[in-house]
Amino acid sequence: MGKKEKIILLFCILLLIITILIFEFSNFDVTLSNFFFNKNTNSWLISSNNTIYGLIFYRGFKIFLVSIGISLILIFTLSFKFKKLEDLRYITLFLFACMAFIPTFISFLKHTTNIYPPWDLNIFNGNKPYIKLFEKYPADFTQKKKAQGYPAGHASGGFSILCFVYILKKRKYKMFFLLFWMFLGWSMGIYQMVRGAHFLSHTIVSNILSIIITLLLYYLFKKKIEGATNNEQNQ
Which pLDDT value is given to residue 62?
A: 96
Whole-angstrom distance, CA of residue 124 vs CA of residue 195: 12
Which pLDDT value is given to residue 225?
A: 83
Residue ranges, the chain, pLDDT below 70? 227-235
Which pLDDT value is given to residue 229?
A: 57
Which pLDDT value is given to residue 4?
A: 82
Which pLDDT value is given to residue 1?
A: 72
What region does 191 belong to: left with phi over 0, alpha with psi -120 to 50, or beta?
A: alpha
Q: Is the pTM above the cut of 0.75?
A: yes
Helix axes 61-78, 89-113, angle to 10 degrees: 140
